[in-house]
Structure 1
Amino acid sequence: MDGSVIGLVVLVAIAVAIVYILRKSIVMVRGDRTMVVERRGKYHRTLTSGLHMIAPFIDRVQAHANQREQVVTIQTQTLATSDGGQVTIEPSNVSYAIVDPHDTDTADPTVVEELEAAVTTALDQLASSMSEAQFYTVSHQLPARLTELLNESAPRWGVRVTSVQLGHIRVP
């Protein structure tokens, strides 16, 4: 091979390497998402919407988080009241938004499981503190109270509960 062919091959290899490194360095984040970046396996930063540069081979996009409001459906629950009665709540919806993707990503178990458990526990506590009649009477106040209770724990999971919609409440 003559020198110009070898030079051309080296030039093409360098160009391919530069394009590859640039491709790994530039990250585009859509408007409704965020990305968690880890550097050497530890949290480094959170990328919001827009064009970002990361250090290739050192930084790694660990997680993508959807910033839009999301809904979790809580299955039908039968709760015991303080007077020994039972109240059944049809499926309910909990709306939440991710406010800290790093905490959401590291939450174990998942945010959905945590919210389901928190709603179940909160409803059990509320039902056991009042009679059947009281529970039914204050049922219109329960969504606001549940939202307040959930937002006390939600920051640990990196979310904010925006609303709770209870299904039909049946008193046997």
Structure 2
Amino acid sequence: MSAAAIALIALAVLVLVVLSRTIRIVPQARAGVIERLGRYQRTLDPGLAVIVPFVDRLRPLIDLREQVVSFPPQPVITEENLTVSIDSVIYFQVTNPKDASYEIADYIGGVEQLTVTTMRNVIGGMTLEETLTSRDKISSQLRVVLDEATGRWGIRVNRVELKAIDPPLSIQEAMEKQMRAERDRRAAILTAEGVKQSQILTAEGEKQSAILRAQGQR
């Protein structure tokens, strides 16, 4: 192979390498952060983009879709020092890729830790009864606080859902005992009503029979 052919092949390879480092395609619902010589330069929107090879660097793409993070049950202490277990789900979106890249190292981990801290602060000022009966109120309060706190990270918290709020085992047993007693009470009432109705029907039947017998003896 001649030197000219080798040079052409080398040039073609170089061109391909340069093109591969110059042209970037950002998928829909993603964003790309470009750094130039180590400093933030711009944010790429979905579509075809051209960057300066060997000078610009594309950071890992950021997902702009709504993300769902489900946390394992967290022990939280109420105002009466009772420990409840709360299972929560957070729905959030990245609205500012630049802030999500530079204001926090791990925004998903940050959301998780902030959720736990906020939940403890909110539940810590509530009684057990309020906690068990105010799920929507707690979710709304958590969303407002989290959305405000994560705004500087370029994140919007859309909603917070509490999948389960489990009181202490002793409280659960007491509640179940109370529910059983209530069911037994209602069953006793229904049984008594049934007996009463049966007695009424029997008495009514005997009355009608007596009337018919009296009429037959005339």
**TM-score (normalizing by structure 1):** 0.87
Gap regions ≥5 residues in structure 2: 172-218
The residue correspondences of 1:56-135 to structure 2 (distance < 5 A) are: 56-89=53-86, 91-135=87-131
- The 3-state SS of whatever aligns with 2:81 is coil
- The 3-state SS of whatever aligns with 2:41 is strand
Q: 1:169 aligns with which of 141, 160, 165?
A: 165
Give 1:50's aligned residue: 47
Give 1:151's aligned residue: 147
> Which structure has more RCO (C-alpha within 8 Å, separation ≥ 6)?
1
- The 3-state SS of whatever aligns with 1:68 is coil
Letter in 2 for 1:36: V
CA distance in 2, matches of 1:56, 1:111: 29
Letter in 2 for 1:92: S
Give 2:132's aligned residue: 136
Shift of 1:166: 0.7
Letter in 2 for 1:128: G
Deviations 1:46-92 (A, max 9, x none): 11100000000110112211112111111212221122333221x21
Q: Give identity over the alignment, percent.
A: 30
Letter in 1 for 2:36: R
- The 3-state SS of whatever aligns with 2:32 is strand
The structure whose residues are more often helix, as a share, is 2
Instruction: Give the number of aligned pairs.
Output: 168
Shift of 1:158: 2.1
- The 3-state SS of whatever aligns with 1:133 is helix
- The 3-state SS of whatever aligns with 2:61 is strand
List structure 1 runs of 4+ shifted beyond 4 angstroms. none
Shift of 1:8: 4.0
Gap regions ≥5 residues in structure 1: none
Shift of 1:25: 0.8
CA distance in 2, matches of 1:25, 1:143: 46
Letter in 1 for 2:29: D
Shift of 1:159: 1.4
CA distance in 1, matches of 2:43, 2:22: 15
Contact 1:37 1:47 in 2 (8 A): yes
What is the RMSD of the two structures over their aligned residues, measured on CA atoms? 1.9
Q: If you compute each CA radius of gyration, which structure gives the higher value, 1 or 2? A: 2
